Chain A
Amino acid sequence: MPNLRDIRRKIEAIKKIGQITRAMNMVAAAKLRGAQMRLEQFRPYGEKFREVIQELVASGAVLPSQFPLMQEREVKTVGLVLVTADRGLCGAFNTNLIKEAEKFQAERSAQGQKVKFICVGKKGFQYFRTRAEILEGYPDVMGRVLMQDARSIARRTMRAFLEEEIDEAWVIYGYFINVVRQIPKREKLLPISVEQEGGAEEKAFKGAPIYEPSPEELFDQILPMYINTRIYAAMLETAVSEQAARMTAMDNANRACGDMVRDLTLLFNKTRQASITKELMDIVGGAEALKG
């Protein structure tokens, strides 16, 4: 029979864990709101970049092949920017991202390509540090997602591409669908490719704008900034997803705590009754024996 004091101690412990998970849930909810707001505010900025680059290419003012960042070449080595969270306790969020990265790696290896990692966020870095070739690791940047960090990550990636350390660059990050669903998503970063969807006609209608300085120089200035925004967007998106995942995970944990406390309390009461009954029986038995 389980010991009464042990059960009571266990109930206390679980209640305390419940308090912690509840607090973490609320913190995650608050952080989620903040991160979502930042993502919201960033979106028009990122979109504008894509738009202007698309317009420039569509109008024929610039030729993509002139720009090193847009040049396609035979792919021998792929750079993978893997964005994960810095912290755990957010369900399978980081694991899913790492799995996706491993899948990516396996696919590329099957094609005879090597994959080199640029890890953003501590979890991915810790995992791949001993398992894959790391170009650069950026742990501890996901707590406060800063443009300045995104910029140095982008710079490192572009340098690797330009110095032909890698021939292509991809990013894997946690895409935020809604509070209960976040999926790993992969996107191509480099070389920058522009999908052209009938932009030319619209252009002809609006009339070509003035470009100052020349379209080529302007493009040269904007392209690296575009990569900055892509990395920043991936980081923001991952940060939002992380908080959402943590919120859900903590909510589940909290509920599980409630269930366990209920079960244990039941067990506690049963045990208590059993022990009282036993004591009573002992007393009655003793009295009977004396009488006898």
Chain B
Amino acid sequence: MARILLEIVTPERLLVSEEVDIVTAPGVAGEFGVMAGHAPMVAGIKIGPLHYRVGDKEEWIALGGGFCEVTGKKVSFLVETAERAYEIDVERALRAKERAEKRLQEAQAKGDRMAEARARAALQRALTRIALAERVKSGHPR
């Protein structure tokens, strides 16, 4: 089966550069999948899990917001954060979750909409990480 080159780039590093069978990503307008031969596309990416498969190998990656560009042979994700599921530090994510929840409450109490949006995003990131880490730990093939 034809494969498509997947690239996941963050400001800090090039996390993935690999020929894959299929990628499923959290788009702003809903989850979408990309396989070889996909039409050119530019899509907004929200915080959430990305999944890709190469043969029998499956990987999960926690994405921060960004966008994705599909050209003929390549799909590149440009996101602010990205880490592989097995790299995730669960303890840290749990702490981040608590922090974000507290900040969210404070922001709501004060009615600060910007701070609320930021806290919500932080919470989302933490939740994505926790969910992914647990999925990997529970023996999901990666």
Chain A residues at the B interface, C-beta cutoff of 8 Å: 38, 41-42, 44-46, 48-49, 52, 55-56, 147, 151, 159, 206-207, 209-213, 217-218, 221-222, 225, 228-229, 232
B123 to chain A, nearest CB (A): 16
A218 to B67, CA, bound (A): 8
Whether A52 pairs with B42 at a CB distance below 8 angstroms is yes
Whether A218 pairs with B39 at a CB distance below 8 angstroms is no
A231 to chain B, nearest CB (A): 11
Partner of A48, one of B9, B12, B29, B40: B9
Whether B65 pairs with A221 at a CB distance below 8 angstroms is yes
Whether B40 pairs with A210 at a CB distance below 8 angstroms is yes
B39's nearest neighbour on chain A, judged by CB, is A210
B70's nearest neighbour on chain A, judged by CB, is A209
Partner of A210, one of B11, B14, B42, B80: B42
Whether A41 pairs with B13 at a CB distance below 8 angstroms is yes
A37 to B23, CA, bound (A): 29
A161 to chain B, nearest CB (A): 14
Please name all residues of chain B whose beta carbon is closer than 8 Å to the beta carbon of A41 when the two chains form the complex.
12-14
Q: List 5 A-B contacts (CB under 8 A).
A: A211-B43, A217-B28, A218-B42, A225-B80, A232-B11
A233 to chain B, nearest CB (A): 9
Provided the pairs A209-B70, A212-B27, A221-B28 are in contact, do residues A45 and B11 lie with their beta carbons within 8 angstroms?
Answer: yes
A152's nearest neighbour on chain B, judged by CB, is B118
Please name all residues of chain B whose beta carbon is closer than 8 Å to the beta carbon of A210 when the two chains form the complex.
39-43
Contact residues, B42-81 vs A (CB, 8 A): 42-44, 65-67, 69-70, 76, 78, 80
B69's nearest neighbour on chain A, judged by CB, is A52
A54 to chain B, nearest CB (A): 12
Question: Count of A-B contacts with CB under 8 A?
Answer: 76
Provided the pairs A48-B76, A48-B78, A147-B80 are in contact, do residues A209 and B40 lie with their beta carbons within 8 angstroms?
Answer: yes
Partner of A212, one of B11, B43, B65, B78: B43
Please name all residues of chain B whose beta carbon is closer than 8 Å to the beta carbon of A211 when the two chains form the complex.
41-43
A46's nearest neighbour on chain B, judged by CB, is B11
Partner of B69, one of A48, A206, A221: A48
Please name all residues of chain A whose beta carbon is closer than 8 Å to the beta carbon of B67 when the two chains form the complex.
52, 218, 221-222, 225
Residue B124 at the chain A interface, CB threshold 8 Å = no
A26 to B12, CA, bound (A): 24
B5 to chain A, nearest CB (A): 14
Chain B residues at the A interface, C-beta cutoff of 8 Å: 9-14, 27-29, 32, 39-44, 65-67, 69-70, 76, 78, 80, 114
Please name all residues of chain B whose beta carbon is closer than 8 Å to the beta carbon of A218 when the two chains form the complex.
28, 42-44, 67
Please name all residues of chain A whose beta carbon is closer than 8 Å to the beta carbon of B14 when the two chains form the complex.
41, 44
A55's nearest neighbour on chain B, judged by CB, is B42
Whether B76 pairs with A225 at a CB distance below 8 angstroms is no
Provided the pairs A209-B39, A228-B80 are in contact, do residues A147 and B11 lie with their beta carbons within 8 angstroms?
Answer: yes
A208's nearest neighbour on chain B, judged by CB, is B40
A213 to B29, CA, bound (A): 6
A38 to B10, CA, bound (A): 11
A275 to chain B, nearest CB (A): 63
A119 to B114, CA, bound (A): 22
Partner of A49, one of B28, B65, B78: B78
B115 to chain A, nearest CB (A): 11
Which of B42, B65, B69, B70 gathers the greatest number of chain A CB atoms within 10 Å?
A: B42
A63 to B67, CA, bound (A): 20
A142 to B55, CA, bound (A): 44
A42's nearest neighbour on chain B, judged by CB, is B11
A218 to B10, CA, bound (A): 18
Which of A56, A212, A232 gathers the greatest number of chain B CB atoms within 10 Å?
A: A212
A210 to chain B, nearest CB (A): 4
Provided the pairs A45-B78, A221-B67 are in contact, do residues A229 and B41 lie with their beta carbons within 8 angstroms?
Answer: no
B101 to chain A, nearest CB (A): 19
Please name all residues of chain A whose beta carbon is closer than 8 Å to the beta carbon of B66 when the two chains form the complex.
225
Provided the pairs A52-B67, A218-B67 are in contact, do residues A147 and B12 lie with their beta carbons within 8 angstroms?
Answer: yes
Whether B27 pairs with A225 at a CB distance below 8 angstroms is no
